[in-house]
C-alpha cells in the first residue's frame, strides 16, 4: 500500500470513529420515554453498584420501567451510567423509598432499591438469607433515603 492510500485509509477511519462517537453521544442525550420512577439521593461515601463505582456526591436516578436498566446521573452530567436490570420482588409494605447498602471491609455495595410507590424491591446484589442476617447483626447494613420526583 502506498503512503497516500494509507493516509486516506486513516482519515476515513478517523472520520468514521468521530461519526460513531457523535451518534452515541446523541443517543445518550436523547429524551427518554416517560419514567415510572425518578428520584434524587446523596451518597456520603463511594459505593459499588452493579459493575460501576459511584463517588460520594449527589445523583439522580430514573427508570422507564422496573424491567429496564436504571440511569444514574450526577447534576453536572459528568456521570451518566446505566445500572443493570435487577431482580424484581415485592417492596416492603408501607416502607420508604431507599437504597440498601451493605459493608464488607472498606467496600460499600448497593444491594437493593425499595420502591413502595411501585410495589417493587429491585435487588442488584442478591444475598442469601443467612448473609443478610449476618450483615445486619454486625451492623453492616445501611439505608439511604431517596427523594422521589413529584409527577
Shared domain check, 99 and 61: yes
Shared domain check, 42 and 22: no
Shared domain check, 91 and 72: yes
Average of per-residue pLDDT across 88-104: 86
What is the pLDDT at residue 18?
43
CA torsion 9-11-14-16 (nearest 10°) is -70
Shared domain check, 108 and 43: yes
Three-class secondary structure assignment of 35-78: CCEEEEEEECCCEEECCEEECCEEEEEEECCCCCCEEEECCCCC
Shared domain check, 41 and 20: no
Shared domain check, 25 and 62: no
- For 102-134, the DSSP string reads EEETTEEEEEEEEETTTTEEEESS---HHHHHH
Shared domain check, 4 and 46: no
**Cα gap 72→66, rounded to integer Å:** 14
What is the pLDDT at residue 5?
63
The whole domain housing 70 covers 37-148
Shared domain check, 42 and 21: no
Q: Is residue 104 a contact partner of residue 110, using CB atoms and an 8 Å limit?
A: no
**Cα gap 128→119, rounded to integer Å:** 22
What is the pLDDT at residue 51?
82
What is the pLDDT at residue 25?
39
Shared domain check, 143 and 112: yes
pLDDT digits (tens, 9 = 90+) for 60-88: 999 888 777 889 998 888 788 888 777 88
Shared domain check, 65 and 91: yes
pLDDT digits (tens, 9 = 90+) for 115-128: 898 888 888 888 88
Count of structural domains within the chain: 2
Shared domain check, 61 and 123: yes
CA torsion 55-57-63-67 (nearest 10°) is 30
Amino acid at each position: 500500500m502506498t503512503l497516500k492510500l494509507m493516509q486516506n485509509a486513516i482519515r476515513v477511519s478517523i472520520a468514521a470513529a468521530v461519526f460513531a462517537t457523535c451518534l452515541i453521544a446523541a443517543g445518550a442525550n436523547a429524551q427518554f420515554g416517560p419514567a415510572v420512577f425518578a428520584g434524587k439521593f446523596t451518597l456520603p461515601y463511594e459505593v459499588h453498584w452493579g459493575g460501576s463505582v459511584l463517588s460520594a456526591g449527589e445523583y439522580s436516578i430514573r427508570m422507564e420501567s422496573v424491567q429496564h436498566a436504571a440511569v444514574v446521573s450526577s447534576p453536572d452530567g459528568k456521570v451518566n451510567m446505566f445500572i443493570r436490570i435487577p431482580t424484581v420482588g415485592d417492596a416492603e409494605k408501607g416502607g420508604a423509598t431507599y437504597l440498601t447498602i451493605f459493608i464488607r471491609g472498606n467496600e460499600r455495595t448497593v444491594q437493593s432499591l425499595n420502591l413502595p410507590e411501585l410495589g417493587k424491591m429491585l435487588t442488584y446484589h442478591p444475598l442469601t438469607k443467612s448473609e443478610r442476617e449476618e450483615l445486619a447483626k454486625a451492623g453492616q447494613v445501611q439505608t439511604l433515603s431517596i427523594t422521589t420526583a413529584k409527577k
